[in-house]
A and B are shown apart, each in its own frame.
Chain A
Amino acid sequence: MSLLRNRDNKAYAYLYDHYASALNSIILQIVNDAELANDVLQEVFVNIWRRIEQYDAGKGRLFTWMLNIARNASIDTLRSKSYQNSRKNQSIQDNVDTIQVTDVLQPGIDTIGLRKVLEKLKEEQRILIELAYFKGYTHEEIAELEKIPLGTVKTRIRNALIQLRGLLK
């Protein structure tokens, strides 16, 4: 850890060699574009380098911290990209929830990582995890989007996560 804090180049090379592939996987699952994923991965390592002081070992593992950086960077990229797309075609915005659901169900990236695990969940749970984890929507946004009560969103997500824990073991 002290090597990372001192910005030791070898320590970051080690970090890259051990975790780049795992982080690349989660980025790919969110942005679903190999080239875009490369950019995000680069950004993630720059963020790790810059924000290493903010990592608190008492609150969790380094990988978990890096995973969340990767997830947030991916969702930010996705949002700026979809914002640009929606500007190109205003009609998409009118059918935003339809689009989101079709996005969720698109094939190809379902075969790797957590998405593969998600397939074992019930449809209604899978969509909520998809929206919450892979799209970064808040519970309130999901409730509005899926037209279900906020309490139901929370319960379903919690249940899905409990199942997920079992599936990951």
Chain B
Amino acid sequence: MNIQEYISSGIVESYVLGLADEAERVEFEQMCTLHAEVRTARDVFELSLEQHAIAAAVAPPNHLREAVLQQLAAEPASGINGGAPVVQMSSARRSGIPMAMRYVAAAAIILLVSSAGLNLYYFNKYREFSQRYDQLLAQQTDLVKNNSSLQTKLSTYEHTIEGLTSPYMAKIQMDGSSVPANGSPAPASLATVLWDTRSKDVYLMVNNLPQPEAGKQYQLWAIVDNQPVDAGMLDMAKGPVMVKMKNIPRAQLFAITLEQHGGSPTPKGPMYVLGKV
């Protein structure tokens, strides 16, 4: 092909103005590397186009310059190519998690925290009530114990009153003044034997006896035909109530002596009270 014909075919202008198609562009670029004339023709047209454009320039508004330069300053500085806008888009998104999911996650966290707070609150409440329950349980056990001991005491008193008022109960009063010979170590001592005339059961009620010293215990004797018969040991802790002793079918006298703890087969210690049937 004649180079001059090629140059004047309008391809130069078509290429420079961006109107040439792909095949024409490739061909023209080849021709430029091969032929200096084509290159020169291109340079000449480009220059005239540039000069014409500058001559026909229309200035944009002044504020635009600052806006453009600021936007460029905000652009990432390196590693930019044609794909840059895509990079910016994806970085602007930051994370692929949709907004709705973020709200759900935030709500879940808030629920979790408040649930943990409620758990702590109710746990403390539970501990408090558990303690109170234990206290109440202990109080209740005490009350039941007190109640049963009171019941026992009451029934004992009832029994005593019954014994004292019963027409079948023989009442034998023993006192310190009745004790012969050397006399009672405590003359003011007083005790009462209640003897069921039908069953022959013997009950004792201590009215006044000094506390025995350690290792000693009072013992009740029935004197039958001048022979002392063991009628049982006294429990001083019970107080002035009727305490059941042994069954004595027959007796003329009742007496109390202070013996070794556990009692003796025959009286050895001093006599405190004596009473006739």
Contacts and interface: CB of A to CB of B under 8 A. Distances in A.
Contact of A159 (B10, B12, B29): B10
A67 B67 CA distance: 20
B225 interface: no
Contact of B60 (A38, A72, A112): A38
Given A60-B16, A63-B46, A25 B58 contact: yes
Contacts of B102: none
Contacts, number: 143
Contacts of A117: 52
A63 B42 contact: no
Contact of A161 (B17, B21, B60, B64): B17
A53 B48 CA distance: 25
B10 A157 contact: yes
Interface stretch (A8-16, A76-84, A87-95, A97-105): A8-16
The 3 tightest CB contacts between A and B, nearest first, are A158-B10, A21-B57, A161-B13
Interface in A107-132: 112-114, 116-117, 132
Contacts of A21: 54, 57-60
A39 to B, nearest CB: 10
Interface in B43-102: 43, 45-50, 52-54, 56-61, 64-65, 67-69, 71-73, 75, 77-78, 80-82, 84-85
Nearest to B60: A24
- Which residue of B42, B58, B82 has the most chain A CB atoms within 10 A of its CB atom? B58
B53 A157 contact: no
A16 B69 contact: yes
Given A22-B57, A38-B60, A67-B49, A158 B71 contact: no
A7 B80 CA distance: 10
Contacts of B12: 165
Nearest to A41: B60
A60 B25 CA distance: 12
A28 B64 CA distance: 15
